Structure 1
Amino acid sequence: MATSSTTLSFILTSFLLCPLMAYAEDPYVYFDWVVSYSQLSPYGVQKQVIMINNQFPGPLLNTTTNDNVFVNIHNQLSEPFLLTWNGVQMRKNSWSDGVEGTNCPIHPGKNWTYAFKMKDQIGSFLYFPSFGFQKAAGGFGPIRINNRKVIPIPFDSPADDFDVLIGDWYNVDYKELRSSLDAGDRLPSPDGVLINGLPEYKANFTFQPGSTYRLRISNVGLKTTLNFQIQGHKLLLIETEGSYTVQQYYDTLDIHVGQSYSVLVTADQPEKGTYYMIASSRFSGGDALVTGVAFVHYNGSNGQPVGQLPQSPCSNDYSYSMKQALSIRRNLTAGAARPNPQGSYKYGSINISRTIILANDAALINNITHYTINGVSFIYPDTPLKLADYYHIPDVFTLGGISDTPDGRVPILGTPVIDALYRDFIQIVFQNNQPTIQTWHFDGYNFFVVGMDGGNWDESKKQAYNLVDAVSRSTIQVYPFSWTAVLVPLDNQGMWDIRSQDEERRYLGQEVYMRVRGADTSVLPDPRDENQIPSNIIKCGKAEN
């Protein structure tokens, strides 16, 4: 994590030019990351993998609430590169969001420093490459935002924390996968599931008998929901994506792409034993089941587990999975980033100012299958939307380019942006009329997951909403031929990405941006509401000059 004095001087100078990010009482933390290629063969086929500081998965971004974070990225790949910080809210600062709609990519041989603040946030998250389907080659890693010492956690301190990254894996090179999608092909079945970058029976965890451990589990894969369990052990769910949850035991957990969960696991089985840790595919249709397996050793035992590999829930049992999802509730008595309990925000009594229904679909456009939202398949211009908006560059994106509800239009390619008012309180309904599970993410925000069910959403569904202790998170699943409703306080100005976490679908258009601005869009945002443009911003496309 060493950083040169020249780089530090540059970072600090840039930081001081963005004064609203600087709080004298809050720590500054610096990370210096080199992004490069290496050849690895997790499943027997050598493949070009993206490493960060020669690590795969990448290093832990370990921070604390309100830290001022600087991540200097040196790109040694053969093509441009971007990282996005999945679940980190980037308060007032979409400038460092790390997606193509807000940032120009870092070119080969260049470096750029992301600067952001972990403002009023705790929890478990992940980062990954957002450019050019590079996530299929790695470049992902874990993020922790720890509680400040003055804020108690709602459970006894564990003996240790483990980051557990699970995800589907493809032996095909990411550039070949990208080319096949461009040509109209679909992704093949994954070749396996990795646990912390390792194939079956290669990853190991050591527990001491009687001790309790925190596992921060993130699904870093491309598209496959994974079911997680540890043989003979209960999973006590305590947190998901920045919210402490009502503490409940689960035998297994469905973890959808892009989601993160924290569980406590107590080593309460016979001493000197070894136990299976399993991550197996769910809802994969006709595809063969793929499974990742690691070992949990007691007292450093290197023996083999006793008994058969435990079975996961039925592959296509959506009712089991939905029931589990609805059982996850917010712990209203716990503080998180602040001393006051999480339940002090009475989201259920706020009037909804706008309802937006986002329906996903597939369509043939120019003889190639694209994925759409309300009839529009998103394409990226050569100028980031955020820069175009800041410099008032025309003909880059279309405000209001999609309707608030599906209108039956002929599917088209486009660059739509939803225009939304700062401090509004809105409802977003994700409507899935397809036979495959969907997973959605909203950059810059957490939302309250108030309801999900089968069929089509209508106003009558509000009667069954959870308006008391709905969990707050940034990534949510929508089951086939079903809907999920979330409530969002629009308290973070900027240009924010709403996307499918299924990387194939996102690459082929299942994405839209929301511009959250004050009522008067003819003036720049008040610096109290949104950070000024960084002095080191990369410019490209129509913004370059």
Structure 2
Amino acid sequence: MKGIMWHLVVSIICVVAIVGSAEDPYRFFTWNITYGDISPLGVPQQGILINGQFPGPDIYSVTNDNIIINVFNNLPEPFLLSWNGIQQRKNSFEDGVFGTTCPIPPGKNFTYKMQMKDQIGSFYYFPSLAFHKAAGGFGGFRILSRPGIPVPFPEPAGDITVLIGDWYKTNHKVLQSILDKGKMLMSPDGILINGRGSNDSRFTVEPGKTYRLRISNVGIRDSLNFRIEGHSMKLVEVEGTHTMQTTITSLDVHVGQSYSVLVTADQPPQDYYIAVSTRFSTKLLTTTAVLHYTNSAKPVSGPPPPGPTDLPFSLNQARSIRTNLTASGPRPNPQGSYHYGKINVTRTIILASTAGIVNGKQRYAVNGISFIPPDTPMKLADYFNISGVFRVGSISDNPPLGNGINLDTSVMGADYRAFVEIVFENRENIVQSWHLDGYAFFLVGMDGGTWTSDSRKQYNLVDAVSRSTTQVYPNSWTAVYVALDNVGMWNIRSEYWARQYLGQQYYLRVYTPVKSVRDEYPIPSNALLCGRAQGIKKKHPLLITNTLTF
């Protein structure tokens, strides 16, 4: 008994020390989620507003900041926000997708509590339930380096969020109904820049000054090309990684991806087009914004600059993006010091997407399994040992023979601290985009054709960029390395949102049998409980530390 009490006391002291030591800054936000009237393409429609704004407000933060966002759901249906690229270290409870987090009921609120642990870069947030993403509710999320940590370029005159994405004039509930009936969606109606149509967005610059543009594709399905008339851009960051600073005239941004570029106002004083157009789509859509010099003597005129039309341009550009090994990351050590190419891969996972009709309805799948949401978030079921919600191993490491599709709540098991290779195979004639929550992976290779073990000979094992979203070109493959150092239940999904909604996703359960706050935080005291977890009494974190190992 004395030993147990001593272990409990030591455990409580350890938790208090962890919570109380070296407290990082806090930033507080209160958000009210409502429906409101918007007309981004000139047609009135219902949109999702945050504090009356469309798009939602920017989140400004610094590495290691604690972000507290109190979200009030004033919609007549459940709502959740997720954080594209924010890694949620040791805390998948706050990931904001249904596999991990209970929806916020109508008229209720939930407070997200997150730390920007050892992260920098450009990201965004979005609504993850139903088909809310097609109604708005998204916004930019930037994490700046801490003071004293050098950034590999001079401080820009301005730091500007640029949210681009395809858009439907049709109400999102109608779109969801089409999908629920097992039908395909039509092509989007247009492209938005910061929630507005052609020439409705204006970015003002002063001659001779340099600006940072944080560009995120927050759309539903289309890859987009971004360019500025008469100006070159310098690529400097990709989803938290400083890149080799290459000069480009246009940039392909695939759905779900984020980039930072530097643009210098070094042209004659007038207005210039910012053009965004779809790539690899049957219907070419283009929209424009205006880059306005403060001493402009001429408005925009004539056609906007054309974008690239070929696939090799995009593939070559993607391959040219490399990590800047001489730059610091979120910590004062070179971010290139992590020699990922010398680590032994312990497992290879090959993921292939398929499409087909199941029970008379259109479905999409990963490795033959089309995901169906359970009645209880899997993370809660795992935490509270609720059986029958999911089965680890319900999706295999390799695509099955044939194109058959089964419905299941697909969860793949993985060992904590394993170092794995994931190969995304695209057997279709469209560009795919894939995202992994909770992690950044090393994009080591991509090419046309079918991946084989010989494909590893062309991997970049020195300075591959680290990011959380990657494209896979038509009839091609993309390979990534991932260090599974973040315990939790993490969503792997298609960023083509209709496909994600119809099953092209699954969850990776990164597991360790040792229960320690060094590896994973306990369930938040304010966590919502739903489904079969509803009514379960949560234990306060301090009271369960006698079962934790320090």
TM range (shorter): over 0.9
CA deviation after TM superposition for structure 1 residue 302, in Å? 7.4
Query: Residues 371 and 504 of structure 2 are in contact (CA less than 8 Å); yes or no, is this contact kept in structure 1?
Result: yes
DSSP-derived class of the 2:263 partner: strand
Query: Residues 17 and 534 of structure 1 are in contact (CA less than 8 Å); yes or no, is this contact kept in structure 2?
Result: no
- The residue number in structure 2 matching 1:294 is 289
DSSP-derived class of the 1:145 partner: strand
Distance 2:369 2:191 in 1: 32
**Of residues 474, 483, 488 in structure 1, which corresponds to 2:477?**
483
> Do structure 1's residue 502 and structure 2's residue 496 form an aligned pair?
yes
1:44-443 paired onto structure 2 within 5 Å: 44-271=42-269, 273-285=270-282, 287=283, 289-299=284-294, 301=296, 303-314=298-309, 317-408=310-401, 410-443=404-437
Distance 1:18 1:196 in 2: 43
Distance 1:185 1:17 in 2: 52
Query: Residues 24 and 64 of structure 2 are in contact (CA less than 8 Å); yes or no, is this contact kept in structure 1?
Result: yes
CA deviation after TM superposition for structure 1 residue 17, in Å? 9.1
The answer for unaligned runs of 5 or more in structure 2 is 1-13, 536-550
In structure 2, relative to structure 1, the CA distance for the partners of 1:21 and 1:163 (3 Å cut) is farther
CA deviation after TM superposition for structure 1 residue 301, in Å? 3.1
Distance 1:411 1:185 in 2: 17
- The residue number in structure 2 matching 1:537 is 527
Amino acid paired to 2:533: A
The answer for unaligned runs of 5 or more in structure 1 is 1-15
Query: Residues 63 and 145 of structure 2 are in contact (CA less than 8 Å); yes or no, is this contact kept in structure 1?
Result: yes
CA deviation after TM superposition for structure 1 residue 307, in Å? 4.5
Distance 1:17 1:201 in 2: 54
**Of residues 492, 497, 517 in structure 2, which corresponds to 1:527?**
517
Amino acid paired to 1:487: Y
**Of residues 14, 24, 27 in structure 2, which corresponds to 1:26?**
24
DSSP-derived class of the 2:164 partner: strand
* More off after superposition, 297-306 vs 26-35: 297-306
Amino acid paired to 2:390: F
Deviations 1:79-118 (A, max 9, x none): 1000000000000110100000000100110000011110
Distance 2:78 2:20 in 1: 29
CA deviation after TM superposition for structure 1 residue 402, in Å? 1.2
DSSP-derived class of the 1:339 partner: coil
Deviations 1:515-540 (A, max 9, x none): 1011x3xx6x2111100101111111
Amino acid paired to 1:374: N
CA deviation after TM superposition for structure 1 residue 508, in Å? 0.5
CA deviation after TM superposition for structure 1 residue 163, in Å? 0.4
DSSP-derived class of the 1:506 partner: helix
DSSP-derived class of the 2:182 partner: coil
Distance 1:304 1:245 in 2: 34
Query: Residues 443 and 498 of structure 1 are in contact (CA less than 8 Å); yes or no, is this contact kept in structure 2?
Result: yes
CA deviation after TM superposition for structure 1 residue 21, in Å? 6.1
Deviations 1:127-173 (A, max 9, x none): 00000010000000000000001101100110011100001110000
CA deviation after TM superposition for structure 1 residue 299, in Å? 1.2
CA deviation after TM superposition for structure 1 residue 19, in Å? 7.8
- The residue number in structure 1 matching 2:542 is none
CA deviation after TM superposition for structure 1 residue 373, in Å? 0.4
In structure 2, relative to structure 1, the CA distance for the partners of 1:18 and 1:98 (3 Å cut) is farther
Query: Residues 288 and 304 of structure 2 are in contact (CA less than 8 Å); yes or no, is this contact kept in structure 1?
Result: no
DSSP-derived class of the 2:527 partner: coil
CA deviation after TM superposition for structure 1 residue 303, in Å? 3.7
CA deviation after TM superposition for structure 1 residue 300, in Å? 5.3
CA deviation after TM superposition for structure 1 residue 308, in Å? 3.0
Query: Residues 419 and 483 of structure 2 are in contact (CA less than 8 Å); yes or no, is this contact kept in structure 1?
Result: yes
Distance 1:22 1:401 in 2: 41
Distance 1:397 1:435 in 2: 33
DSSP-derived class of the 1:200 partner: coil
CA deviation after TM superposition for structure 1 residue 390, in Å? 0.6
**Of residues 445, 452, 465 in structure 2, which corresponds to 1:451?**
445
Distance 2:434 2:63 in 1: 25
Amino acid paired to 1:258: G
Amino acid paired to 2:121: G
- The residue number in structure 1 matching 2:545 is none
> Do structure 1's residue 515 and structure 2's residue 509 form an aligned pair?
yes
TM-score after normalising by structure 2? 0.93
Distance 1:201 1:189 in 2: 22
Distance 1:21 1:71 in 2: 19
Deviations 1:168-197 (A, max 9, x none): 110000000000011122111111111111
RMSD: 1.4
CA deviation after TM superposition for structure 1 residue 319, in Å? 1.5
Query: Residues 218 and 261 of structure 1 are in contact (CA less than 8 Å); yes or no, is this contact kept in structure 2?
Result: yes
Distance 1:111 1:251 in 2: 44
DSSP-derived class of the 2:456 partner: helix
- The residue number in structure 2 matching 1:4 is none
DSSP-derived class of the 1:135 partner: helix
Query: Residues 206 and 300 of structure 1 are in contact (CA less than 8 Å); yes or no, is this contact kept in structure 2?
Result: no
Number of equivalent positions = 521
Amino acid paired to 1:412: N
Distance 1:239 1:533 in 2: 33
Amino acid paired to 1:299: T
Query: Residues 322 and 465 of structure 2 are in contact (CA less than 8 Å); yes or no, is this contact kept in structure 1?
Result: yes
Q: Percent identity?
A: 56
Amino acid paired to 1:534: P
Distance 1:100 1:302 in 2: 52
In structure 2, relative to structure 1, the CA distance for the partners of 1:50 and 1:498 (3 Å cut) is same
TM-score after normalising by structure 1? 0.94
Query: Residues 21 and 68 of structure 1 are in contact (CA less than 8 Å); yes or no, is this contact kept in structure 2?
Result: no
- The residue number in structure 2 matching 1:8 is none
